[in-house]
Amino acid sequence: MTISPARPHAVRRRPSSSVAAPVAGSLRSSLWRVAEILATPLVPSDYLDLFNPLREGADLRGRILAVTPETPDAATITIQPGRGWRGHIPGQYIRVGVDIDGVRHWRAYSVTSPPHTPDGTIEITVKAIPDGKVSNHLVRRTEPGTLVMLDQATGDFTIPAAPPARTLFITAGSGITPVIGMLRSRTDLPDVAHVHCAPTAADVICAEELRGFGDQGRTAYLQRHDDEHGMLDLADLDTLVPDWRDRQTWVCGPTGLLDAAEAFWAAHGIADRLTVERFRPTVIEPGEGGRITFLSTDRSVSSDGGTPILDAGEDAGVLMPSGCRMGICMGCVVTMRQGAVRDLRTGEVTTAEPGDDLPIQTCINAVAGECDLEL
């Protein structure tokens, strides 16, 4: 049973393309086979990781090299990724797995560094949000040298290889991060307008650099502060960027801005010119009882907040794995793809966002809002 997004346990190296390749290849794979026998019941990686956790073939990890403050509550984290890092396209994000108080938490952050740096490092810029467990930890309490888990870069919030004739970026708060990655590397964009909003002037991440792009003439840069100008009203675009309708537009910021932008562009019949970045497609608000969806068997059932998921599933005719029915044997554990559940013994709520894939005990957890299970 896999618990997290499937990552290969042991990746064999491809044989080199020399003449001796077939021989070397088969020798290498025989040696690997012997290594597997020696490592059983573990895998060779478990031993190799002791010596070099960033080696080729290891699960993708990164070592934090530096934490550089940007604003009072934002910092840029420089990471040396493992040898398996396949690179990124500006605008894409990575998921970072950080151990905080012994517990691994995964969060997505845009890569802000250009695709090819001389030392092969990557950067993410993190803004500490109120009550944000991971962001506060990264900004304020991370020591250089810490190992973190990484996923390969992903996301469609990117600019095509052939640059659009005219571009508009609208960013707010930490929504600047994917765009700063684009601006740093895409020097080929001929005509860029950029509207960036932040609560106050002090909150602007990379403020100098953004102004610099403007001063160099690379962007027509407008910076708006909520305390000075009020919240951005998209209707003002007609005065801020009069030709906004003709521009390919990328928007990144809080959900409210994204929703407004989608509605606004759709209302003008030019939805195809808009790309938005949504980090949190669904916000999970724990509730009392709710809908349980069993993904593999394509079944769904409503349950109250006092019934264990195990019982709700069995009553719906789902063949549930089970055991002690009191929370001690782990025989009933299934993977929650997303949703929220509440421990009936303690009241503790566990939430999973898409990609988290958390294993949960169904015999002592009840649905809290909704949950999707791999079953």
Partner 1 sequence: MTLAPERTLTEPTTSTTTTSTTTTSTEATGTDVAKPNVNSRLRPESDPTREFKPKRSGKPNPMAHLTPEQVEEIGRELDALRQEVMDSRGERDAAYIRKVIKTQRYLEMGSRATLLFSGVKVKGVKPFWWIGTAGLSIAKILENMEIGHNVMHGQWDWMRDPKIHSQAWEWDNVSPASQWKHSHNELHHTFTNVLGRDNDLGYGIIRVDEDQRWTLFCLGQPIWHVANAAMFEYSIAAYDLELGGYLAKRKRMTEEEKAEFRAQASEVLGKIKQQATKDYLVHPVLAAPFGGTKSTLTANIVANLARNIWTNTVIICGHFPEGIETFEKTSIEGETRGEWYLRQMLGSGNISGSKFMHIMTGNLSHQIEHHLYPDMPSNRYAEISPRIRDLMERYELKYVTGSLPKQVFSVYKKVVQLSLPNKVEGRRRRDTVKLAAARALRKKSLGGRPR
Q: Residue 180 corresponds to which tokens in the numbers above? A: 């700063």
Residues 190 to 229 in contact with partner 1, rule: CB under 8 A:
none
Give the nearest distance from C-beta 325 to partner 1 in angstroms.
4
Of 80, 88, 86, which is closest to residue 147 (Cα–Cα)?
80
267 binds partner 1 (CB under 8 A): no
324 binds partner 1 (CB under 8 A): yes
In one-letter notation, the amino acid at residue 18 is S
374 binds partner 1 (CB under 8 A): no
In the complex with partner 1, which residue's Cβ is closer, 102 or 217?
102
Of 372, 352, 365, 374, which is closest to residue 305 (Cα–Cα)?
365
326 binds partner 1 (CB under 8 A): yes
> Residue 68: phi, psi to the nearest 5?
-110, 120
Residue that the structure tokens 């990609």 belong to: 355
In the complex with partner 1, which residue's Cβ is closer, 243 or 348?
348
How far, in whole angstroms, is CA 19 from its chain's centroid?
A: 42
In the complex with partner 1, which residue's Cβ is closer, 256 or 317?
317
In the complex with partner 1, which residue's Cβ is closer, 231 or 324?
324
- Each residue 104-143 as x (binds partner 1 by CB under 8 A) or -, in order, gives xx--------------------------------------
31 binds partner 1 (CB under 8 A): no
In the complex with partner 1, which residue's Cβ is closer, 102 or 160?
102
11 binds partner 1 (CB under 8 A): no
81 binds partner 1 (CB under 8 A): no
DSSP-assigned states of every residue in 156-174: S----SS--SSEEEEEEGG
- Each residue 42-61 as x (binds partner 1 by CB under 8 A) or -, in order, gives x---xx--x-----------
Give the nearest distance from C-beta 322 to partner 1 in angstroms.
4
38 binds partner 1 (CB under 8 A): yes
In the complex with partner 1, which residue's Cβ is closer, 249 or 365?
365
Distance CA 182, CA 177 (A): 9
Residue that the structure tokens 């909704």 belong to: 370
- Each residue 142-181 as x (binds partner 1 by CB under 8 A) or -, in order, gives ----------------------------------------
- CA distances (Å), origin 82, targets 22, 54, 196, 318: 28, 4, 34, 41
Q: Is 119 exposed, middle or buried (0-12, 13-18, 19+ CB in 10 A)?
A: exposed
Element (H, E) at 75: strand 74-81
Of 174, 100, 109, which is closest to residue 137 (Cα–Cα)?
100
- State the first-to-last Cα distance of the chain, in angstroms, to the nearest integer: 12
- Each residue 352-371 as x (binds partner 1 by CB under 8 A) or -, in order, gives ------xx---xx-------
Distance CA 305, CA 289 (A): 4
Q: Residue 41 corresponds to which tokens in the numbers above? A: 């019941």
286 binds partner 1 (CB under 8 A): no
Sites of contact with partner 1 (CB under 8 A)? 1-4, 34, 37-38, 40-42, 46-47, 50, 99, 101-105, 306-308, 311, 314-333, 344-346, 358-359, 363-364
